Chains A and B, each alone.
Chain A
Amino acid sequence: MVPLLQLQDVTFGYDREPVLRDVNLQIHDCDFLAIIGPNGGGKTTLLRLILGLETPWSGRVHWAGGGLPRIGYVPQFSTFDRNFPLRLRETVMMGRIGHRGWLRRRTRADGEAVDRVLTDLGLAAFAEQPIADLSGGQLQRALIARAMVCEPEILFLDEPTASVDAETRGTLANLLAELNRQIPVVVVTHDVTAMAVHVKQIACVNRRLFYHGSGQLSHSQLEEAYGCPVELIAHGVPHRLLHAHDECGNE
């Protein structure tokens, strides 16, 4: 099977030192991939390379169709201003920009697509509220709606569980599993426990990509990635795909 996305020997950094070295990764059509690893290990950088926001020093990022496909992207809360004067509906509408080009005026089809996604994600009742008034969980769903409204071929989420409470994490994981029935989902996270039940593949990144696959992560593999002993907690009912773990040390 031809992978949707293939990274071959990708090396990249911001200054002289590479942040990522010789990274190889494949994403296939039905994947639910978690990219995990310690803070500062290059998870977000890897995501930026995949999204085409950075160009690798060497190696290549190759998409099956040649160019970038339509990408759904859910950023961290910290990358935008929560008090920005926008209604939920307008925020989701921004996801349509990539659909036909940023210079085009919005059409009726855009409005219908937005309404559909808002209904699907249970946000229709809040459509006219300013985003500043939304709860963390509602805002998170709004960002997913904004990503989904462009009818993406793949969905990326950067630390989706970082700013929401435990209950929301559960619903979020179920939602992503549902979306995963149609498109591949890639989650960058330092907290894999919330997703553990649904995640099918794991890539462990710390400067290099240490593990990539769908079997159980072993102690030694995690220790190699984190550079220190990591406590593993058995997890993953009902099909025990992986063990979860704490961050090593404080970082």
Chain B
Amino acid sequence: MSDAKKIVLAEDNSILLLLLKFQLEKEGYKLLIAVNGKEAVDLIEAHNPDLILTDIMMPFISGLEVISHVRNKLNLKTPIIVFSSAGQEEMVLKAFDLGATDFMSKPLSPNELVIRIKKLFR
């Protein structure tokens, strides 16, 4: 288990967080969960994860600010997948400008997310 890839998952929807945690842990990843952007930043700084999954709209610090912090303050190249909702197309473009690796629009398929993660780690 010590070789398990570490993933920081930042999502303010508690049940989606629970579901993704369950699914990704089942796939053998080590999940570090955050319910807002601030917690996500703290987890990233403390654990240096292999992947970051973040929602765009979150309390305290948004997903965009998380990306900016990772890329510009911490200077990390950790892959970042962004979750966006309908009508957040401009935010997705901003996320890519800031250095996001990929995005998934909600409603999202957990199985598709697993496939994308596996592809990123390949």
Q: State whether these chains interact.
A: no
Q: Using a CB–CB distance below 8 Å, which chain A residues touch chain B?
A: none
Taking Cβ atoms with an 8 Å cutoff, the residues of B that contact A are none
